[in-house]
Amino acid sequence: MSSTDYQGLLQKAVRAGDIEETVDIIQKVLQEGINPVAIVDEGLIPAIRTMGDLFEQGEVFLPHLMRAAEALKKGMALVSPLIEETTADQGVANTVIMGTVEGDIHDIGKSIVALLLSASGFNVVDLGASVPVNKFIGAVEDRTGDSIIVGMSALLTTTMSQQKLVIQKLTEKGLREKVKVMVGGACVSREWAAEIGADGYGLNAQEAVRLALEFA
C-alpha cells in the first residue's frame, strides 16, 4: 500500500466498523514507516468525524457509530504505545488531571489529548469518562505542588455546564489559584472557556499540548 493512499482506505475501514481491516491497514502502514501521529490525524479522526456528520444527517444510526468508535479504539491501541515512545520528551514534569465530564461517555478525544500530553513529558492522571465534579476536586486535593493542570473534555451541549461546575467548586474549595484549567471537546469553544473562567481552550490535541506547555 502506498503511503499516499492509505488514508482513504483506513477511513473507509473505520467508518464501516471493520476492526480486522482497520488493524490490518495500520499494521501495514506502520511497517512502511508512516508516522503514528499522522495515522491518528489523517485516518482515525477524520473517519469518526465523518460518521458524526452522517449521524447528524440521519444517514447512519447509533449502532454504526458505536462500531466505528470500536474500530477506532482498536486502531488507537496499536499506535498509542508507538506515540508514547517516539514523541520527543520536552522535559516537563507537571501533572495534568484529565477527564470527560459527568454524564458524557465520549472518551476518544480525551484519550488522544492524554496520550499526546504524556508523550510530551506530562504526568497524566486520566480519570476516564463521565467523571463527577467531586472526583476532579479530589484528584486536585490528592496532589500538592504548584503545577497542576486540570483538563476537561465535553462533547454534549447537555454536559458542558459540568466544566463550569468544576471551576466553581475549585473556587469554593480555595483551590482555583493553585491550578490551571483547560477545556475542550466538540461542543466547547474559546468563548465558552472565557465565559466559565477557564485558563484556556484547545481545539485539538496539539493545541492542548501547546497550552499545557505554556502553563508549565
Residues binding ligand B12 (CB under 6 A): 45, 48-49, 51-52, 55-56, 62, 65-66, 69, 103-110, 112-113, 151-153, 155-157, 182-187, 202, 204-205, 208
The pair phi, psi for residue 17, each rounded to 5°, is: 70, 25
> Nearer Cβ to ligand B12, position 1 or 143?
143
> Nearer Cβ to ligand B12, position 45 or 83?
45
Dihedral sign computed on CA atoms, order 128, 144, 180, 134: positive
Q: How far apart are CA 192 and CA 198, in angstroms?
A: 9
Strands 200-201 and 179-184: parallel
164: left (phi over 0), alpha (psi -120 to 50) or beta: alpha
Q: State in angstroms the smallest separation of the CB of 151 from ligand B12.
A: 3
Q: Which residues contact 112 (CB under 8 A, 6 or more apart)?
A: 40, 45, 76, 205
Q: Which residues contact 206 (CB under 8 A, 6 or more apart)?
A: 116
Q: Which amino acid is at 193?
A: A
> Nearer Cβ to ligand B12, position 168 or 189?
189
Q: State in angstroms the smallest separation of the CB of 2 from ligand B12.
A: 25
> Nearer Cβ to ligand B12, position 49 or 173?
49
> Nearer Cβ to ligand B12, position 32 or 66?
66
> Nearer Cβ to ligand B12, position 1 or 178?
178
| Residue 128: all three cell numbers together | 476516564
| Residue 118: all three cell numbers together | 504524556
